[in-house]
Amino acid sequence: MRKTVAIAAVALSVLSGLAEENKCTFSMHVGNSTAEQTISKGSGESSRSGTTAKSSKTKTVTRSVSWPVSVSIRGEPLPSSGSVKLRCYFFGTTNGKPTLLGEEKLDVTLDEKGNFKTNVSSPAEKLVHTTTKTQTGVGNRRNWWARRHHGRSTTANTKSTTTGTRVTGCIIQLVVNGKVERAYASNPGWSRFAKSDPVPTDEILNAH
């Protein structure tokens, strides 16, 4: 009889512990993204070969993207300090190819009401825009006189290219005691991956 009572007491204790663990409710809200960028222009280059002149200019844009995140946990007892994290994955493209830009884990420090706010920021990435102008039929003053009196003219061609890395989105997970409780994906196509642990980054890049 004593053994039966002891087993029942242990079972009751386990159920009580599960009830306490499940008392808390979790919410996470991620707002609209904002971008910060700086622009720098190159000095430009020019060259000439015969009657062809070529000039190019570059513009470098350094850009990072931020998302405001609000976390709210209600119930008692609140999770202990250090047991709540934001796990962040940043995605982009490099020269048009999808790539994982980085991962970050942030501590969530709840106030006395169980609230927390922060901004999650992507790595700063660079894009280089190059504009190249090519002119043919360019020459000295004698060539100019010939063009004017014999109908010769110059032709110009402008080409623009962009290289480098751009940020395209993120996945943010609210992790409590090692479990993903809430998740956000900036791209709706990634939503089915957002709560996975670990996040299947290769599948996301293939679905990019």
Query: What pLDDT sits at residue 36?
Result: 96
For residue 132, tell me if it sits in a domain.
Answer: yes
Question: What per-residue confidence (pLDDT) applies to 175?
Answer: 98
Q: Is residue 192 part of a domain?
A: yes
* Predicted local confidence at residue 8, as pLDDT: 38
Taken in order 198, 185, 188, 38, the sign of the CA dihedral is negative
**Cα 142 to the center of its chain, rounded Å:** 56
Q: Is residue 19 part of a domain?
A: no
User: What confidence score (pLDDT) does residue 53 get?
Assistant: 85
Domain that holds residue 69: 24-206
Residue 73 lies in a domain: yes
Q: How many CB atoms lie within 10 A of CB 165?
A: 19
Q: Which residues contact 175 (CB under 8 A, 6 or more apart)?
A: 84, 85, 86, 87, 181
State the total domains in the chain. 1
pTM beyond 0.85, yes or no: no
pLDDT at 71: 98
DSSP string, 99-150: EEEEEEEEE----TTSEEEEEEEPPPEEEEEEEEEEEES---HHHHHHHHHH
Instruction: For residue 4, tell me if it sits in a domain.
Output: no
Listed as ranges, residues in the chain with pLDDT below 70 are 1-22, 137-154, 208
| CA distance linking residue 64 with residue 120, whole number of Å | 10
Would you say residue 186 lies in a domain?
yes
Q: Write down the pLDDT at residue 6.
A: 42
In a domain, 87, yes or no: yes
User: For residue 13, what pLDDT is reported?
Assistant: 37
Examine residue 11 and state whether it is found in any structural domain, yes or no.
no
